[in-house]
Structure 1
Amino acid sequence: MRREKMQRLQKVMEKSSRIVIGLMSGTSVDGIDAVLVKIDENGINTKVDMLAFENYSYPEEIRQRIFTLFNPKTSSVDQICHMNFLLGNVFAEAAWKIIKKAGLEPKDVDLIGSHGQTIYHLPELVQDTGYQLRSTLQIGEPSVIAERTGIITVADFRVRDVAALGQGAPLVPYSELLLYGQKEETLALQNIGGIANVTLLPAGASLEQIWAFDNGPGNMIIDEVVQRITKSEQTYDQDGKLAKQGRVNEKFLNQLMEDPYFQIQPPKTTGREYFGSSYVDRVMEGATKEGMEAMDLIATVTAFTARSIAHSYKKYVFPRQSVDRIIVSGGGSYNKTLIEFLQKELKDKVVQTQEEIGFSSDAKEAIAFAVLANETISGNNNNVPQVTGAKHGVIMGKIIL
């Protein structure tokens, strides 16, 4: 049996074309993005054909239990242990469903690339008992995924970069170069998920020339403010309709923009540990002192995301490289008010969404982890050291047979 599994791995490694599933759950915790793709070749010759995509929402009970893990005050070791295996089953179920949607069988699939669910991310370099380290933790046990599906699973990508003293994020720039790089145009690929991050792809860029970092909050603050104001009747601002009803409080917005994160030079990454519930507590408290109306607060935190993104371009991106187009992806690309605010902040730049150029915003990150898994199995380094701050290139991803 052991020899058969190793022979199967060898067979998959020797293929020039593979069927791969990508699984991703981001900081917004709105569900698992599952994609099934056909990937031809690897490295700079990679070509991807999407065969099926779906977002499988978490049951609300599981979603709320995940949120409790983000806060050390509400989490515990036994909860993390249990939820790691529970989410492994949930991710495996998503893989089964996307296989069925594509009209395939598990035997037709070569690989699963799973990001898992980040529950804690500590990107700052610290000294502890003589050791230098950063740390990150994703759950959704890949051994369970491999067991339930019978498919070789590649997972735990971030930790390998962090072991090389990188920040473990952003990870999508590698796949973005392979899939979106242009010979004639310089693109800024702006993702707005729970956290906002940008990848700069200069025209004709090599891997060593791309650049990326986390701008700051994406949907994270907006979503939680909406959830608190509506008493959980709404978990996000659909199409930006609530923000559209309010007026931006410029005084309060300027106060938010004084956050020290925006003055940190890239490479940099952030997460829910910084811009999560404790941060929103302070936002709500400040808004109350200002006497702000509910819709005005939603409009203001929406403008905060737009302005913090634009600020990062003006301070860090444009002095480094002129940009022909800004392509927005992620859940924030569907927030029309947010996109309007962003276009206003970057009025002399072309701002488009992924859909406008013929790609799916929803599927982008799941595809990225399918591509990263394909690179792992091909034996290629798949981090970007100048983006994450890692000491050198590494092959990210643990292979589970």
Structure 2
Amino acid sequence: MHPTQLAIGMMTGSSMDGIDAALIETDGHHYVRTLATACSTFSPAFQLALRIAEYAVQQTAGHLAQATMHFPQYITQYLDSTPVTTHIRNALSTYTLDRIMQCLTEDHATLVKRLLQQTPFTADAIGVIGFHGQNLYHHPEQGITLQVGDGQLLANLTGIPVINRFRENDVQHGGQGAPFAPLYHQVLVNQKALHPAAIVNCGGIANVTYISGPKPEQLIGFDTGPGNVLIDRFIREKTQQQENMDRDGRYGLQGQVNQAVLQQLLQEAITDPDYLHKKPPKSLDSRQFHLIDAIQHVSIEEGAATLEAFTAHCIVDSLNVISLPPPKTWILAGGGWNNPVITTYLTQYLHAKMGPDVSVKQAHDYGWHTQFLEAEMFGYFAVRSLLDLPISYPNTTGVSQPMTGGQLHRPSAFV
């Protein structure tokens, strides 16, 4: 029996719409329990500022200093092709890249305080915060993975030790730096003895964890393809930035899948045309997806339905690249499953491939907090980092050996 401690995990995903936070109790080994959750939403102007920050860093191939120096011109370039209101345009003119990172960190600190207000705990009772930060650039082949946010500032503002920069050590040792979810998924499955099982996390990018048993070597995890990243991009373009997503599948429910366009998406929408056929470990970054020309020429309803089918198709096709026996239990986690159209197509494709006895359930059916699993995960990893335990493995990221990760920031007395 290992001693437990309290930790807060915090996650901002590729949708860039806000922050999820979870207070957990964990021993960093086999036990985890969620005590409270909270979330916050970024303003439309700040969401766009983050997208411009991502654009700037991508234009400089991950060189943050260059992106910072030339940020005003990247704002201009981005807005030249993106219609926005005068109010948002004026708000964006006040941002520098440094200011965006400061605001992002301050928003995290505010959410920590709000989360704790829901509980009987004070900051002194919390052992650590796991602070993922906002991913702006992930290119492990270049040895670069960049998640921004000021860990020291967050520690100072909250009075709680902070661990961030979880992915860098993995990438520096030959790993993909993603996905990290499989190890946490296995802890949840082990607690309920559900293996063999597959857990599919659908955020901006979808990833799957195949778990055949309780040991770290009995799992495989990798990114399957897009989650909501292309759907969100398509909806933003079709609505002139007035809507950010196909909320509740409202457009997709009214559309039919264009099979010809779907086949083109499978061949062309990922910049590496062989990605879907590669064996894991493997990972993706949002910059590796693009909206093909054919999708621009269909209605918003047909396009949404086709992109949602594409997400589901890629998930089911992941069965073609694993050597484990296909599990009959599939568990869906992440905000992407709020879109019922993706769920419908996934269930349909799984039954067509594996038969009608496949069980497809939502994470909340097992008492898990679907929206907050990734936040919980980084609280768990922060504790493992404190204990100097691995957070990634060769069979999850391709790293050379089980790898620790994260950088610790202790609160300063001078804030």
Q: 1:252 to 1:25 in 2, by over 3 A?
A: same
**8 Å Cα contact 1:70-1:273 kept in structure 2:** no
Identity across matched positions, percent = 29
Deviation sequence 1:98-155 (CA, Å, 0-9, x none): 111224321221211111110000022x5xxxxxxx2100001111110101111111
Residues 155 and 161 in structure 2, CA contact (< 8 A), matched pair in contact too: yes
1:298 to 304, 310, 313: 304
C-alpha distance in structure 1 between counterparts of 2:167 and 2:42, whole Å: 23
Alpha-carbon contact 1:185-1:324 (below 8 Å) kept: no
User: 2 CA distance for matches of 1:199 and 1:76?
Assistant: 35
- Specify which of 54, 60, 73 is matched with residue 70 of structure 1: 54
What is the distance in 2 between the residues matched to 1:258 and 1:287? Answer: 13
Aligned length: 365
What stretches of structure 1 move > 6 A for 4+ residues in a row? none
Secondary structure of 2:251's counterpart equals helix
Q: 2:182 aligns with which of 149, 155, 173?
A: 173
- The partner residue of 2:321 within 299, 305, 316 is 316
1:345 aligns to what?
349
Query: Which of residues 178, 188, 194 is equivalent to 2:198?
Result: 188
Q: CA deviation at 1:90?
A: 1.6
Report the AA paired with residue 203 of structure 2.
G
The answer to whether the Cα contact below 8 Å between 1:173 and 1:384 also exists between their aligned partners in 2 is no
> Distance in 1 between the 2:108 and 2:372 partners?
16
1:20 and 1:112 in contact (8 A); partners too? yes
Q: 2:241 aligns with which of 208, 232, 235?
A: 232
Counterpart CA distance in 1 for 2:313 and 2:403 is 34
SS at match of 1:248: coil
Within 5 A, what are the aligned runs for 1:251-400? Answer: 251-259=260-268, 260=273, 261-275=275-289, 279-280=290-291, 283=292, 285-288=293-296, 291-313=297-319, 315-317=320-322, 319-347=323-351, 348=355, 349-400=358-409
Letter of the 2:31 partner, please give it: K
How much has 1:200 moved relative to structure 2?
A: 0.8
TM-score under structure 1 normalisation?
Answer: 0.87
Q: C-alpha separation between the residues in 1 aligned to 2:154 and 2:194?
A: 41
TM-score, normalised to structure 2, is 0.84
Classify the secondary structure of the residue corresponding to 1:27. Answer: coil
Matches within 5 A, 1:104-253: 104-124=121-141, 126=142, 134-181=143-190, 183=193, 185-202=195-212, 204-253=213-262
Q: Are 2:28 and 2:381, in contact at CA under 8 Å, matched by a contact in 1?
A: no
- Alpha-carbon distance, 1:185 to partner: 3.0
Which amino acid counterpart does residue 52 of structure 2 have in structure 1?
T
- Of 10, 28, 37, the match for 2:15: 28
Unaligned runs of 5+ in 1: 1-14, 127-133
Q: RMSD of the TM alignment (CA)? A: 1.8
Shift of 1:294: 2.0
Residues 61, 199 of structure 1: alpha-carbon distance in 2 compared, 3 angstrom cutoff: same
Structure 2 regions of 5+ residues with no counterpart? 61-65, 70-95, 411-415
- Equivalent-residue separation in structure 2 for 1:263 and 1:184 (angstroms): 28
SS of equivalent to 1:55: strand
